[in-house]
Amino acid sequence: MSFQSSSLYVGDLDTEVNEANLHEIFSRIGPVASIRVCRDLITRRSLGYAYVNFHNAADAERALEELNNSPIKERPCRIMWTQRDPSLRKSGKGNVFIKNLDKDIDHKTLYDTFSQFGQILSCKIELDDKKESKGYGYIQFATQEAADMAISKVNGMMLNDKKVFVGPFVTKKERLASNSTKKYTNVYIKNVNEEIDEEGLKTMFSKYGPVQSAIVMRDEQGKSKGFGFVNFEDADAAAVAVDDLNNKEHNGRTLYVGRAQKRNEREAELRQKFEQLRFEQMTKFQGVNLYIKNLDDDFDDEKLRGIFDAFGTITSCKVMRDNKGASKGFGFVCYSSPEEATRAVTEMNGKIVGSKPLYVGLAQRKEIRKAQLEAQFAQRKQLATRISAPIYNGAPAMFYASPGGQPGFVYPQMMPRGGGRFGYQPMPNYVMVSGGRGGQVKNGRGGMVPGSRRGMKNPQPYPVAPAAVPTPVVVSPDAPLVVPVMPPLTAQSLAALPVEEQKHIIGERLYQLIAKPQPVLAGKITGMILDSSYPEEMLQLIDNPATLNEKIDEALKVLKEHEKTADNTGATKQEE
């Protein structure tokens, strides 16, 4: 089998490896067309593999030969040709499993040992957390004939003074199914009364057939741990004992009797059951579980149920509390149908209960909320690249020239106008074009502002109508931020306003608060919070500095992660 593609699959990567790291390594071989690290759709965390595309197949072939099994961030990578047809991978043809390997045998040694039997598509030794061999690995040959030859020639041979096992690879699902049906003689018993010893355990099971051994597991003081093992001479007797005694009452306890399993097999089975249970729970509660916050401190489960009971049948209701039993200010209400949950959200979201307006919405996992924030930020950044100035609250920012001659910008500030409900409005938009000995000032419509000053080191913009509109404030890196004092906001004053106007007014306040710790990123962070929060949430941020700081830290993490991947967005997406 031959491959003429110039696309490589790079697996077994550390989750911290990104496109830049791979480009630095693979570009040494030849010109790289594109690189894509595959990531989880929700968390955007690396899945541990990537695709590297070269401009020609010769460079790709040389990269496969020279870089396969080489360490990337101290972890050996596994490189193979990209297989666009997944049927070969899923069929299992040519896959070989090797175990009882010496710890000194690495990927390259294993590859060199088995390459004599045919073309190897993939070779891997499983490593532990310390990056040491676990003593087993996998090889995928291009043909089943090569795999059969390797099994027949190497199985049972000595490699580094250890007798190795080589056989066909069996998937985990097939192994679990096989283990559940194969015969066994060793039986595991738990929830046994502490007074039962080995003789009592042997007497209990001997009526089903001859027992070779029976043991009760004990602690360091010799006290029974409540479980043990019984080994029968005949597999049929063991099966009968399991069928008859499992879930049966004995000395006031319900026994568990089943086939004895190895630790990794038991963990795999429990993991599969947990994942299945989690999937069922996610499916079951999708669209019916509500998240409620801004609760008063005196709320308990019963009071929360009493408020939401009118919208339908509540299956569960919980106010979350800290270690000291105090309310955390939020909780969950689960209804029996999505229609009831939708009605509760419509009626109760934003409604003032006690002293605060409630936030009511569908409950979401943390990684989903984070992914939504990242998507909103990416969308805003794409929008910003298509226009001449950044956007804040629907208005372009004002550009200025710093003392060092570097361009910059500041988002619009809110200046008093003396009228209206809160007496504030955004100042006009300006763009300063810096150059030469001075600068010219343009208004937001692109026209020149009369009387602009020339020949000054740091020109300041004039408003279009100086008599009617106050002079805008330009923030430079060396100047402190000047923020006008505004009257306090209350839930009652906002309740009568439309949602969009509420966001606009609260956004003005948030920008001023965020600009103190983050003067450079205040506009971006404010926009992210405006896009992802309800007015009542943002009102809480204004009144609670600790909660606002948490939001700022969360936004900064999103911005930092976005910057890491911003330079790699041009990589071509390929089919796996």
136-160: per-residue pLDDT in tens? 988 888 888 999 999 998 898 888 8
- Whole-number pLDDT of residue 493: 61
Q: Are 54 and 34 in contact (CB under 8 A)?
A: no
| Cα–Cα distance, 227 to 231 (Å, whole number) | 14
First and final C-alpha spacing in the chain: 19
| Cα–Cα distance, 127 to 109 (Å, whole number) | 15
User: CATH topology for 286-363?
Assistant: Alpha-Beta Plaits (3.30.70)
Q: Are 149 and 117 in contact (CB under 8 A)?
A: yes
- Whole-number pLDDT of residue 176: 63
Q: Which of 42-51, 440-449, 472-481 has the highest mean pLDDT?
A: 42-51
| Cα–Cα distance, 35 to 571 (Å, whole number) | 5
The domain 7-158 is classified under which CATH number: 3.40.50.620, 3.40.640.10, 3.30.360.10, 3.30.70.330?
Answer: 3.30.70.330
Q: Are 17 and 37 in contact (CB under 8 A)?
A: yes
Mean pLDDT of the chain: 75
| Cα–Cα distance, 18 to 13 (Å, whole number) | 9
> CA separation (Å) from 467 to 37, 440, 463, 471?
57, 20, 9, 10
Q: Are 400 and 474 in contact (CB under 8 A)?
A: yes
* 515 pLDDT higher than 60: yes
Q: Are 167 and 155 in contact (CB under 8 A)?
A: yes
Helices marked H in 416-544: 491-495, 499-515, 522-532, 535-543
Q: Are 134 and 126 in contact (CB under 8 A)?
A: yes
- Compare 392 and 539 and report the one with higher pLDDT: 539
Residues in the chain: 576
| Cα–Cα distance, 298 to 132 (Å, whole number) | 54
* 321 pLDDT higher than 70: yes
* 169 pLDDT higher than 80: yes
- Compare 265 and 37 and report the one with higher pLDDT: 37
Range of weakest confidence among 215-229, 351-365, 424-438: 424-438
Identify which of 126, 121, 261, 128 has the alpha carbon closest to the alpha carbon of residue 182.
Answer: 261
User: CATH topology for 373-563?
Assistant: c-terminal domain of poly(a) binding protein (1.10.1900)
- Whole-number pLDDT of residue 381: 66
Radius of gyration, alpha carbons of the chain: 34
Burial environment of residue 388 by CB neighbours within 10 A (0 to 12, 13 to 18, 19 or more): exposed
- Compare 84 and 459 and report the one with higher pLDDT: 84
Q: Are 63 and 5 in contact (CB under 8 A)?
A: no
- Give the mean model confidence (pLDDT) for residues 46-62: 91
| Cα–Cα distance, 96 to 91 (Å, whole number) | 13
- Compare 421 and 319 and report the one with higher pLDDT: 319
Identify which of 406, 384, 403, 385 has the alpha carbon closest to the alpha carbon of residue 394.
Answer: 384
| Helix, strand or coil, per DSSP, at residue 82 | coil
- Whole-number pLDDT of residue 37: 92
Domain residue limits, the chain: 7-158, 185-259, 286-363, 373-563
Query: Domain 185-259 classified CATH 3.30.70.330?
Result: yes
Range of weakest confidence among 173-177, 275-279, 292-296, 474-478: 474-478
| Cα–Cα distance, 574 to 576 (Å, whole number) | 6
- Whole-number pLDDT of residue 280: 66
- Copy the structure tokens of residue 447: 């026209």
- Whole-number pLDDT of residue 396: 43
Helix (H) or strand (E) holding 264: helix 263-285
Burial environment of residue 77 by CB neighbours within 10 A (0 to 12, 13 to 18, 19 or more): buried
DSSP label at residue 458? S
Range of weakest confidence among 66-70, 174-178, 268-272, 502-506: 174-178
* 246 pLDDT higher than 80: yes
- Give the mean model confidence (pLDDT) for residues 373-394: 57
- Copy the structure tokens of residue 331: 């909780």
- Chain centre to alpha carbon of residue 391: 29
Backbone phi, psi, residue 482, to 5°: -100, 120
| Cα–Cα distance, 331 to 328 (Å, whole number) | 8
Q: How confident is the model at residue 367 (pLDDT cuts 50, 70, 90)?
A: low
The widest CA-to-CA distance across the chain, in whole angstroms, is: 108
* 551 pLDDT higher than 60: yes
- Whole-number pLDDT of residue 59: 92
Q: How confident is the model at residue 393 (pLDDT cuts 50, 70, 90)?
A: very low
* 355 pLDDT higher than 60: yes
> How is 363-422 classified by DSSP, letter by letter?
---HHHHHHHHHHHHHHHHHHHHTSSS-EETTEEPEEEE-TTS-EEEEPPPEEE-S-SSS
pLDDT in tens, 408-458: 333 343 433 344 333 334 433 333 333 343 444 444 434 444 444 444 444
Q: 15-18 long-range CB contacts below 8 Å, 24 or more apart?
A: 15/45, 15/46, 15/48, 16/46, 16/73, 17/46, 17/50, 17/72, 17/73, 18/46, 18/564, 18/565, 18/568
- Copy the structure tokens of residue 465: 């109508």
- Whole-number pLDDT of residue 384: 58
- Compare 217 and 540 and report the one with higher pLDDT: 217
- Whole-number pLDDT of residue 463: 40
- Whole-number pLDDT of residue 263: 78
Identify which of 177, 115, 123 has the alpha carbon closest to the alpha carbon of residue 150.
Answer: 115
Q: Are 495 and 352 in contact (CB under 8 A)?
A: yes
* 534 pLDDT higher than 80: no
| Cα–Cα distance, 225 to 216 (Å, whole number) | 8
- Whole-number pLDDT of residue 181: 61
Q: How confident is the model at residue 49 (pLDDT cuts 50, 70, 90)?
A: very high
Domains 185-259 and 286-363 share a fold: yes
| Helix, strand or coil, per DSSP, at residue 10 | strand
- Copy the structure tokens of residue 20: 């830049």
- Whole-number pLDDT of residue 285: 65
DSSP label at residue 181? H
- Copy the structure tokens of residue 8: 């490589």
> How is 314-370 classified by DSSP, letter by letter?
EEEEEEEE-TTS-EEEEEEEEESSHHHHHHHHHHHTT-EETTEE-EEEE---HHHHH
* 401 pLDDT higher than 50: no
